[in-house]
Structure 1
Amino acid sequence: MRTSKSTYAIIFSLLAGIFLFVFSGCSLELSDAGSADQADGKQQGKQLKVYFLDVGQGASQLLVTPSGKTMLIDAGNNDKEQKMLDYMKKYRIDKLDVVIGTHPDADHIGGLDKVIDHIPVGAIYMPKVQSNTKTFESLLISIKNKGLKVKTAKSGLSWDLDDQVHVDMLAPTGTYEDTNNMSAVVKVTYGQNSFLLTGDAEAESEKDMIASGANLQADVLLVGHHGSNSSTTAKFLKQVHPKYAVIQVGEGNSYGHPKPKVLDRLQQQGVEVYRNDKQGTVEVTSDGRSIHIATER
């Protein structure tokens, strides 16, 4: 059946209306309410946990701070909705203080709607970019139904996730035609350790982050765009100078990720590489001075 141009216009208008609603009003403060039980023993010791969740050919990172504050960045594709809820149960997450949808691609935001439907959320950040897809529409509806207002993800934002863990948003630094370059890029610092989580940011965004003068150095790098040739340029990698890198990639994916050129670049810089397709979920623990890495397999 052929759909008329007027029908497409109506659908797009509805999406635009929801988008404007969820992005209206962008000031949300983190609350301590709901996290006390996590602080009372669910997080042992003074450790920051960063879980690079195995969601196949997609991306998702879950952070739990020493005081039990939580942040979820992305949530895999649509077919990983139940898996994401299972992860929340496994790690005993009963509230998410911060949620970040790095950009509208389905393999990053596909599972976020169900997570938001089932778990209380304090604040949500997304870049100000639309996508005319059912996946994006479903996420906006879940946000609206929870009465949340999206805070715009962009460079220059900075906040304390708790009194020991600091978050800096380094990108997007501007507006780009390619939604990958609109990816929210986050640097998380705990004591002497830091993590750079890059979404699908590509060479153009990487170049602008370097030009911004931001401190890009990090102990752990989430390799951009699943190890695609579009990302992790030599100049960017030199600036980050990581000890460890994690590639969120699905087993036997049709894209050929990660690309040999990117793997060679990492090897040449002596970076220790971990991959979801080979090792499952990668759990990185920091005590603020040293880093320990454990894998699912």
Structure 2
Amino acid sequence: MARGRRGKGKNQAKRFLLAVVALVLAAIYPVQEQLTKETGGTAVSDGSTLEVHYLDIGQGDCTLIRQGDHAMLIDAGNNSKGTKVQAYLENQGINHLDYVIGTHPDADHIGGLDVIIYKFDCDQVWMPDYSKDTRTYDDVIQAVKARDYKVTHPKAGDVYTLGEAEVTVVCPVKDSYGSNANDYSIGVRVQFGENSFLFTGDAEEHSEEDMVASGENLKADVYKAAHHGSRTANTENFIKAIDPRYVVFSCGEGNTYGHPHAEVLDRLRKMGIQIFRTDDQGTVVAVSDGQTIAFNTSPSDNWTPGEPKGK
């Protein structure tokens, strides 16, 4: 009888240990437990996949892209979000970034970038050839100098690699957009196998027109809506040139700008595009195996009843 109690105790201890391990793994790799392919199967992220993490950092932008041991960070949210982004990267096991991109010098994009530059080894720091006389911008520049890095101003058409993925710079197309900081945004198209992802910062209508006119390949399965879904961007012609299946909005819940604007949402609905929103669903993660894309959440329910979802 005593032997049976000891056996029962060992089994309980084993179950407890397994439960603890499962909780730890879930904390480190929450995405892998939630990823569901369109086919209903599961996807596990590893060195053969491309991960795109659209971080929920309130009203701002921050995207982490991983391919194997390689990583790119596009923006880092507002000034108060630097340590949050740092913690997210560390929880993902990242200590080195191939590319750090500050799409343009607005605080809701580069505010947390100084923290990232100080805390992580960075191979390249990209920023547009456009500056702002602000404390936020100066903090980033001082961080770059402190780490003895150089700022790269990539040009439209430049091609880089991120592991097995190809990264093409799509904007800014022109050297000057006057005083509109948004149109200087650095945009990139990331190709991995048959899947592609497009990011254009806060680029607005003029920059979008130039991208379309440039003849550069803009087609993408997933498009991160420009300028948080503002009506000053995401024009119909531009969306048609991208022809996305999915659009991800990065914006803060109840933000004072009204992002994403109703006109943009309605435009995407009519085009049958599935929508994801960080203000509605938290951090959105997409994982590509080069042929299919899995998300950690279902598309947002922001649809007009009776309208079809997806293409």
Normalising to structure 2: TM-score of the pair? 0.80
Equivalent in the alignment of 1:75 = 76
Equivalent in the alignment of 1:176 = 177
Distance 1:286 1:43 in 2: 8
Give percent identity, aligned residues only. 44
Q: In the alignment, residue 265 of structure 1 is paired with which amino acid?
A: R
Equivalent in the alignment of 1:144 = 145
Shift of 1:153: 2.7
Equivalent in the alignment of 1:248 = 250
Post-superposition CA distance 1:198-245 (Å, at most 9, x none): 100000000000000011110000001001010000000001000000
Output the aligned Cα RMSD: 1.4
| Residue correspondences, number | 254
1:52-131 correspondence to structure 2 within 5 Å: 52-65=54-67, 67-131=68-132
Kindly report structure 1 stretches of 4+ aligned residues shifted beyond 3 Å: none
**Change beyond 3 A, Cα 1:284–1:43:** closer
Post-superposition CA distance 1:91-149 (Å, at most 9, x none): 11110011111000000000000011111001111100010000000000000000000
Equivalent in the alignment of 2:198 = 196
Contact preservation (8 Å) 2:47, 2:69: no
Q: In the alignment, residue 213 of structure 2 is paired with which amino acid?
A: A
Equivalent in the alignment of 1:294 = 296
Distance 1:251 1:147 in 2: 37
Shift of 1:45: 4.5
Contact preservation (8 Å) 2:249, 2:278: yes
SS of equivalent to 2:294: strand
1:189-268 correspondence to structure 2 within 5 Å: 189-268=191-270
Distance 2:72 2:126 in 1: 11
Shift of 1:160: 1.3
Q: In the alignment, residue 102 of structure 1 is paired with which amino acid?
A: T
Contact preservation (8 Å) 2:157, 2:216: no
SS of equivalent to 1:284: strand
Q: Which runs of 5+ in 1 are unaligned?
A: 1-41
Distance 1:159 1:256 in 2: 35
Distance 2:181 2:87 in 1: 29
Q: Which runs of 5+ in 2 are unaligned?
A: 1-43, 301-311
SS of equivalent to 1:199: coil
Q: In the alignment, residue 181 of structure 1 is paired with which amino acid?
A: D
Whether 2:166 is the aligned partner of 1:166: answer yes
Shift of 1:154: 2.5
Distance 2:66 2:187 in 1: 18
Q: In the alignment, residue 114 of structure 1 is paired with which amino acid?
A: V
SS of equivalent to 1:239: helix
Distance 1:82 1:149 in 2: 23
SS of equivalent to 1:93: coil
Larger Rg: 2
Shift of 1:44: 1.9
Equivalent in the alignment of 1:278 = 280
Shift of 1:195: 0.2
Contact preservation (8 Å) 1:43, 1:68: no
Equivalent in the alignment of 1:134 = 135
Shift of 1:82: 1.4
1:5-16 correspondence to structure 2 within 5 Å: none
